[in-house]
Amino acid sequence: MQAKDAGCMPGTRRGVLAKFFDWVKHNPKGMLWLAGMAGTGKTSIAVSLCRMLEEDPETLLGGSFFCSRTVNMVARTDVRRILPTLASSLAKKSSEFASELATAELKPDVARGPVSDQILPLFLRPLVALAAETRPIVFVIDALDECGDERELEDLLSAITTLKTKANVKFILTSRPETSMLGSPVSDGAQSDFFQLHVIDKAEVTDDIHRYIAERFSKNRLAKSWYTEADVAALATLAGGLFIFASTIASYVLDAKSVVSRTTRLQKAVSAASESTVAMGPLDAVYEFVLTRASDMTKIEPHEREAMQRSLACILAARMPFSAEGLAELLGVDVDFLRESFLRLRAAVHVPEEDNEPGVQTLHATFGDYLFQRAPVELRLPASLGNETLARGCLDVMRDRLRFNVSECSTSYEQDPPSIPGSIPLALQYACLHWIYHISGIPEPSKLDQEISEVFLSGFLYWLEVMSVLGMVRRAAIMLHFAAATVRHPS
């Protein structure tokens, strides 16, 4: 399954490609794992890297294998096909390797047998012939998370990480940040390098996407100009770091063949891309695949599925970025339990490594539109679920945390206000700032009247203290006015 079989986005991720190319030539480690959330451009990078390796006389692309569930070919998800494909590819490029492979005593069914039985005859023994090869021999395996058999995948990862040969062999692997990969030998920093595509600087990614859209549009000119530089910039920003979004929207626009229809589609994409089911079809397919796998009831308990859905709904409804620690407190769960509930959604949800670091976020803004509106019934979430969960969480946190001198000021004349908010837990800051907005976002806010009264009858002044320390006194007045119109006092 060679690189030409996979789709490519020309001109993309040049900075990332340069880093990987430099790694191939100078890094002594034999493996690099590129992990990225769904749609962040892993395959386009793998394709482009293969082309660069092919064209560079100082490297030897031994072979590539592009796994895929979308091409309707069992072979593209069969782990047992990977090593035979790579060995066959290298044999076509190296007569020495081909000669050793031809003389090897291969079992008739070795190409379809277990991975553990393939590594020795197909790789280890024939590679002896390339011990003197000065060029790095590179193998690229893309989208490993789309392979069907997790046990065979574990065997493959174990085989290539323990491959001991004098030949200068390097493996570059890409996948979503799945649990099966994270717990495998490829996550061992002593043996491999780990690169997370979705944590690259946002400005760098947006610049790459801008270049990609501009190139596609410029190659599809019509008799009359139909787009501007401002349109390209708007789409690049709208993509939110998601290459599959940029590719999907660009294809949607370019499918129109007249100036009028193409201009109409472009303006629709710039103003409200998520409203077009035609434009969002391919992206929705990615979302459905990720959620279906994450919700598989044969591998997850009902309460775990419910916790995952509530956590996801809260991220989508949040009014500012959460940390894992802050979200866990608002949900009333242990932070380790929260992280575990997101494990199966790592392809669509990014959770920072540090518990207190803000930045828990979903794949793209359109993910929420999909979950609330376009997803199949069994995957769809009620639009009010996040607001309801966070409203109750905010009230619980304020009831438990609000107290006298909550900001721990040594005097009422504290002269260093910027340092004070640090003494107030982030979950309490969020609760005090946003409780009313979440309450107003549920169908029947009056259901929480009793809980609201319990919090503010005893903690009103403490809440005002927090708002004052945060510099939000005017906002507090607005919130109270809003609350008076939204919340009824219990009779």
pLDDT tens profile 365-387: 778 888 988 889 989 999 899 99
CA distance 444 to 381: 18
Measured in whole angstroms, the distance separating CA 448 from the mean position of its chain's CA atoms is 35
Residue 419 is predicted with a pLDDT of 47
Note the pLDDT of residue 13: 56
pLDDT for 405 equals: 85
Which 3 state secondary structure label does DSSP give 171? strand
What are φ and ψ of residue 404, in 5° steps?
-65, 135
Q: Which residues contact 277 (CB under 8 A, 6 or more apart)?
A: 284, 374
CB 24 within 8 A of CB 170: yes
pLDDT tens by residue, 140-196: 999 888 887 778 888 898 888 888 899 999 999 998 776 556 666 676 666 788 887
Question: How many beta carbons lie within 10 A of that of residue 230, not counting itself?
Answer: 9
What global pTM score does this model have?
0.60
Report DSSP state, residue 360.
B
Contact assessment for residue 373 and residue 298, using Cβ atoms and an 8 Å cutoff? no
Listed in order, the ranges of the chain carrying CATH 3.40.50.300 are: 3-199
Q: How far apart are CA 145 and CA 231, in angstroms?
A: 35
* Parts of the chain belonging to CATH 1.10.10: 297-383
Q: Give the per-residue pLDDT at 428.
A: 93
- DSSP secondary structure code for residue 488 in this structure: P
Mean pLDDT by 10 residues, the chain (491 residues): 41 69 90 81 87 94 87 76 94 94 79 88 92 95 84 87 90 79 66 75 79 89 86 86 79 87 85 60 76 80 89 91 92 91 80 87 80 89 93 95 83 50 83 92 87 90 91 87 68 48
> How many Cβ atoms sit within 10 Å of the Cβ of residue 409?
15
Reported for 3-6, long-range contacts at CB under 8 A and 24+ positions apart, including other chains, are 3/46, 3/47, 3/50, 3/51, 3/54, 3/64, 3/66, 3/140, 5/66, 5/71, 6/43, 6/46, 6/47, 6/66, 6/68, 6/142
Cβ atoms 437, 390 nearer than 8 A? no
Helix (H) / strand (E) element for 238: namely: helix 229-238
Q: For residue 462, give Cα distances in angstroms to 316, 325, 432.
A: 29, 23, 10
pLDDT of residue 58: 95
Q: How far apart are CA 87 and CA 169, in angstroms?
A: 12
Classify domain 297-383 at the CATH topology level. Arc Repressor Mutant, subunit A (1.10.10)
Which top CATH class is 3-199? alpha beta
Q: Please state the φ and ψ torsions of residue 128, each to the nearest 5 degrees.
A: -55, -35
Q: Are strands 31-35 and 169-175 parallel, antiparallel or unpaired?
A: parallel
pLDDT at 8: 41
Environment class of residue 477 by beta-carbon count within 10 Å: exposed (0-12), middle (13-18) or buried (19+)?
exposed
Q: Longest C-alpha distance within the chain, in Å?
A: 90
Cβ atoms within 10 Å, residue 227: 21
- How open is the CA angle 128-131-137, to the nearest 5 degrees? 100
